[in-house]
Amino acid sequence: MAKPSRAYVCQECGATSTQWAGKCPACEAWNTMVEEAGLGASGATGGKRSGKVIDIQSLASGSANTERIITGLNEFDRVIGGGLVPGSALLIGGEPGIGKSTLLLQVAARLAQADGTVLYLSGEEALSQVRLRAERLGLGDAPVGFAAETGLASILRTLENGKPPQLIVVDSIQTLWSDLLESAPGTVSQVRMCSQILIQFAKRSNAALVLVGHITKDGQIAGPKVVEHMVDTVLYFEGETAHQFRILRAIKNRFGPTDEIGVFEMAGDGLREVPNPSELFLGDRDAASPGTAVFAGIEGTRPVLVEFQALVAPSPLGTPRRAVVGWDSSRLAMILAVLETRCNLRLGAHDVYLNVAGGLRINEPAADLAAAAALVSSFVGHALPSGCLYFGEVSLSGAIRPVGQMALRLKEAEKLGFSTAVVPQKLDRESRKSGIELEPISHLTDFTATLAGTGESGANVS
């Protein structure tokens, strides 16, 4: 047998080098190269040098056998595209303490209660701890198989000895280790190797595999990107630990959409599903203060109403502060530049703070108008009408451009009792039929002039 090769592996990006370096030659991160033993000539393949003739089949014949496993936790099922796909692998990342273990225990217990077979492998918590949590969640009687095991060889042996479960949860992939490698658990090679072997097992046995992955300081799933490439679905569980809202977001999904979100609320008895997030996000809003505007956004297939909050105040500093939470900072810079140049608002000497209430992150350009409305409202010190909402993309010229799914946004707003909407001029026929009073505007100046009360109303409904 050949001597195992030695290599230095970057713990950030997974790049390998035969020599140690202070700075990774690939991703240029400092102090991330760690010596890890590579595979010998025999390795994961079992040392077979010669291959075998593979059996080629036609894609057209036979059925796909993708009957999904419905876990019963609706928000989770929806985010992954309608339940778990047998034989698939899913990676779920999130900061420590965000609720990954709680979520997966709830998923496992729901499935077990519905007569599914589940194995929950924990490398982080002991049986008594997980039992305590299950009791707290009111799921103490769910027949979930549990093992506090981290050795991959024993896990595989157990799994292959008997009927494989429908769902295998591994909490977390960073705690597993394979004796095929000398490196410590949690290193890039171990994470990669253990994931690969488990994924192969899942494919062979048709079990759905869920891996928990820790994330690094800058929000990436620890271990190389290659784990994200190996799995079928990557989810992030996010939210502010100080807030009770938690958002489950699909980043990659081979079996469903990637723009879907699931909203949960962390309560004393575990995660509660939030079927109507808008009500939650707008729950304790203070509509009477200047600087708040409601945006009707779309997250996946669902409309979600959120509040943009802005604070614009004269700055004591030479270079004013610009801080933004929940939105893109370069987008904020663009809106400020448009307000300054096209609408003659002198914002240059002001500190600007912008926040999306509730811990949601908005990526849609459709939010431009709501952000601008909140900023202008704070700047002039007038509160916006309380039953009014905003959406529309702002171009660099200040023109308001139409956005997608306007009728759906308006419908949600109507359901939640909003009476008016400031929207782009170019509306589709369906949106015009909305029960909400529409105030179409074609340029940002229409809006700023109305708010400052200096011009004639921009509400020229067509």
Q: Are the C-beta atoms of residues 57 and 231 closer than 8 Å to each other?
A: no
Q: What is the three-class DSSP state of 46?
A: coil
Residue numbers at the binding site for ligand TYD (CB under 6 A): 94, 96-102, 133, 136-137, 266, 268-270
Site string for Mg ion, 236-275 (x = CB under 5 A): ----------------------------------------
CA distance 422 to 441: 7
**Least Cβ distance, residue 241 to ligand TYD (angstroms):** 7
Token pair, residue 307, equals 């509040």
313-349 burial code (b ≥16 CB/10 A, e <16): eeeeeeebebebebbeeebbebbbebbeebbebebee
How do beta strands 89-94 and 233-238 pair? parallel
**CB of residue 185 to ligand TYD, shortest distance in Å:** 17
* CA nearest neighbour of 33 among 17, 47, 49, 45: 17
Contacts of residue 435, defined as CB under 8 A and 6 or more positions apart, other chains included, come to 414
Nearer to ligand TYD, 101 or 431 (CB): 101
- Residue 440 binds which entry of ligand TYD, Mg ion, none, with Cβ cut-offs from 5 to 8 Å by kind? none
**Is the Cβ of residue 122 or residue 378 nearer to ligand TYD in the bound state?**
122
101 versus 174: smaller Cβ distance to Mg ion: 101
CB of 249 to ligand TYD, least distance (A): 15
352 binding partner (options ligand TYD, Mg ion, none; Cβ < 5 to 8 Å by kind):
none
* Closest alpha carbon to 91 in 279, 201, 221: 221
CB of 199 to ligand TYD, least distance (A): 21
150 lies in the binding site for Mg ion (CB under 5 A): no
Amino acid at 387: G
Q: Which is nearer to ligand TYD, 249 or 331 (CB)?
A: 249
The residue (of 133 and 382) whose beta carbon lies closer to Mg ion is: 133
Q: Are 207 and 170 in contact (CB under 8 A)?
A: no
Q: Which is nearer to ligand TYD, 91 or 298 (CB)?
A: 91
Q: Which does 270 bind (CB under 5 to 8 A by kind): Mg ion, ligand TYD, none?
A: ligand TYD
The helix/strand/coil state of 18 is coil
Nearer to ligand TYD, 96 or 385 (CB): 96
Tell me which residues in 48-107 interact with Mg ion (CB under 5 A): 101
Q: How far is the CB of 98 from ligand TYD (least distance, A)?
A: 4
Q: CA distances (Å), 22 to each of 14, 26, 220, 433, in order?
A: 15, 12, 21, 64
What SS3 state is found at 308? strand
- Cβ at position 267, least distance to ligand TYD in Å: 6
* Least distance from ligand TYD to the Cβ atom of residue 139, Å: 10
Site residues (CB under 5 A) for Mg ion, limited to 98-127: 101
Residue closer to Mg ion (CB basis): 85 or 210: 210
What is the smallest separation between the CB atom of 101 and Mg ion, expressed in angstroms? 3
Q: How many residues bind Mg ion (CB under 5 A)?
A: 1
Q: Which residues contact 252 (CB under 8 A, 6 or more apart)?
A: 228, 231, 233, 234, 258
Place of tokens 């509306």: 427
Footprint of Mg ion (CB under 5 A)? 101
